[in-house]
Amino acid sequence: MRTLSITLVLASTAIASAETEIQFPPENARVATAEEAPVTVETKLDPPAPEKKQHTWIEPFGAIAGGMHLQSLHQPAEVKTSGQNPTVAVSRLGLRGGVGKYITYASEFEAALGGPLGYGSSVWEGQAAIAIRDQFVRYTRAGFSLAAGRIADPASYDYVSANMGDLLYSDLYTRDPLLYSGADRGNGLHGSYDITKNFTVMATFHSTNPTGITGTLAIGGKLQPFDRPFYLAAAQVGNSQNNLPDHNLHIYFGSPAVMFRSEHFEAKAEIQMYSLDTQQSIDDDQTIRGYNLRLGARGHIPTQIGKLSPFANVSRNKNEILDPTDSKYRLPELFRSYTFSVGTDLDITKKSGVGASYAMVDTREPDSHVREHYLNLGTSYWIEDSVAVGLRGSIFAQQISGETMTTGARSVFVTARLVLN
C-alpha cells in the first residue's frame, strides 16, 4: 500500500512536469477572447482621458506708414512760418487674442506722426509721442457683447475713403474732420447687441478726465486762454510734476447708437450726450451740457470697372457756454457746430484704386464764426495683400468771420504702408 502511494505521487509529479514543458506552435494556439482572458494585477488599464484645455489664441496686428510730405502754406503776412517738406512716419502695433469661446482682448500702441502736419518727434529724449489706442477686454455671448478698458466706439467714426489712409488718418487733412464730428475713443464701457445679422444696437459710457476720451474735442466754447475745454485740461500735461492733465475737470459722456450692415449698404446713427464740470474743486460752478447727433451711410455698388463705394456723414453739436473767465456763470448763447463730409472709393483691382473726399466743419459761438474745408484726392496701389504705395493731394482752408483772408495749407503725400489685419 505504501509502495502504491509513492508510485501515485511520482506519477502526478511527472505529469505536472510534462505539462510545463509542452509548448504549442504559435500558429496552432488560439487567442483567448476578452471574456476568457484572466485578469491579473499586472493588467494595464487605459489611462483616464486628459482634461480638455481651454482654447486660447493670440496674434499681432498693426500698421506702419511713412514717406514724403511736400507742403505749401497760405498764411497772413505777419505769420513767419514757412513750409517744410518733412519725411513722415507713423506706426501702430498691438496684440489681440481670445480665451475660450467668449472672451477676447486687444492691446495697441502708436508712435505718432508728430503733430497734424507730421513735423516729427524725438527719437530718444523729450518729445517722443507714444499713444495708447486700444486696451480692452470683451465678453461676447448670444449676440450680447460688453467691453471695458480703453476702446473705440465704432458708431462714432465717420465713413472715410480707404485711399486716404496712407498715413493711417493721423494727419491734419484726414484726422481733424473725424475729431470735430465726434470720433470717440477712450476709457470707458461699451456694450452691444445683435438684433439680427444686419442690425446692431450699442451704447458707450465714459466717466473720466476730458483728455481721457477723444469725443471731448467736439465740445466748444472759450475758456481763457483756450478755444475749447479739451485744451484747458490738456494744458497741464508736461507742466505738472507728474505730467498728468488737470484733474479739476471731469466729464460724463454717453452714446446710444444703432448700426445697419448688408452686402451693398451700411449706415449708423448715434447721439452723444455729455456733462462737463470744469471746476471740481467748487460746488457752485456751472457745468457744460450738450449733445452731438451723428448720421452716416455708405454704399457698395459693383460696376464694370470696379466696386464703387460712395459715402456721406453729418453731425450736429450744441452745448452750453460758460463765462470765459468765471465758470460760475453760464452765458445765454450756445456753441453750435456741424460737420459734413462726402466722398467715394473706386476699387479697380481688389483694394487698389482711387478715392476722393471733402469735409466741412462749421462752428459758431458769440462773436465768432469759423468754417474749415478739407479736400483730399488720392490713389493706392497694393503691391502685396498687406503692402501699398500711395499718392495723395490735400487742401485745407480756414475762413474766420471778420477776416478777409482765407488761410490754410496744400500738401502732396508720397507714401508706403504695411497693414497687418
DSSP string, 111-174: E--STTTT----SSSS---EEEEEEEEEEEETTEEEEEEEEE-GGGSPP--GGGGGGTT-SHHH
Strand partners, 363: 337, 370
| Distance of alpha carbon 13 from alpha carbon 6, whole angstroms | 11
Residue 48 has pLDDT above 80, yes or no: no
* Amino acid present at 221: G
Residue listed under C-alpha cell 455671448: 141
Q: What is the pLDDT of residue 238?
A: 66
User: Which pairing describes strands 56-74 and 307-323: parallel, antiparallel, or unpaired?
Assistant: unpaired
Higher pLDDT, 127 or 350: 350
Q: Which run of H or of E encompasses 344?
A: strand 326-349
Mean pLDDT of 198-212: 96
| Distance of alpha carbon 291 from alpha carbon 271, whole angstroms | 7
| Distance of alpha carbon 129 from alpha carbon 111, whole angstroms | 6
Q: What is the pLDDT of residue 27?
A: 44
Percent of the chain at pLDDT > 70 equals: 84
Q: What is the pLDDT of residue 127?
A: 56
Chain mean pLDDT for the chain: 86
Strand partners, 177: none
Residue listed under C-alpha cell 495683400: 385
| Distance of alpha carbon 194 from alpha carbon 142, whole angstroms | 9
Q: What is the pLDDT of residue 124?
A: 62
Residue 284 has pLDDT above 90, yes or no: no
pLDDT, tens digit (0-9, with 9 covering 90-100), for 363-412:
999 889 999 999 999 999 999 999 999 999 999 999 999 888 899 999 99
Nearest of 257, 267, 263, 354 to residue 311 by alpha carbon: 267
Confidence label for 42 from pLDDT (cuts 50, 70 and 90): very low
Nearest of 127, 124, 114, 125 to residue 87 by alpha carbon: 114
Contact between residue 178 and residue 157 where contact means Cβ atoms under 8 Å apart: yes
Contact between residue 377 and residue 343 where contact means Cβ atoms under 8 Å apart: no
User: Which pairing describes strands 250-261 and 387-400: parallel, antiparallel, or unpaired?
Assistant: unpaired
Percent of the chain at pLDDT > 90 equals: 65
Worst-scoring range by mean pLDDT, 69-73, 278-282, 353-357?
278-282
| Distance of alpha carbon 210 from alpha carbon 280, whole angstroms | 12
pLDDT, tens digit (0-9, with 9 covering 90-100), for 239-249:
766 678 888 89
Dihedral (CA of 108, 111, 114, 116) sign = negative
Q: How many CB atoms lie within 10 A of CB 62?
A: 18
Contact between residue 343 and residue 310 where contact means Cβ atoms under 8 Å apart: yes
pLDDT, tens digit (0-9, with 9 covering 90-100), for 100-140:
999 999 999 998 888 888 887 666 655 567 888 999 999 99
Query: In the chain, count of helices (H) and strands (E)?
Result: 3, 17
| DSSP assignments along 65-100, one per residue | EEEEEEEEEE--TT--------EEEEEEEEEEEEET
Delineate the domains of the chain, giving CATH numbers in brackets.
Answer: 56-420 (2.40.160.10)
Mean pLDDT of 290-307: 96
Q: How many CB atoms lie within 10 A of CB 399?
A: 16
Q: Which three cell numbers stand for residue 234?
A: 490738456
Residues ≥6 apart with Cβ < 8 Å to 140: 102, 104, 146
pLDDT, tens digit (0-9, with 9 covering 90-100), for 313-347:
999 999 999 988 887 889 999 999 999 999 999 99
Mean pLDDT of 8-20: 42
Higher pLDDT, 39 or 254: 254
Q: Which three cell numbers stand for residue 105?
A: 482682448
Residues ≥6 apart with Cβ < 8 Å to 99: 54, 55, 56, 105
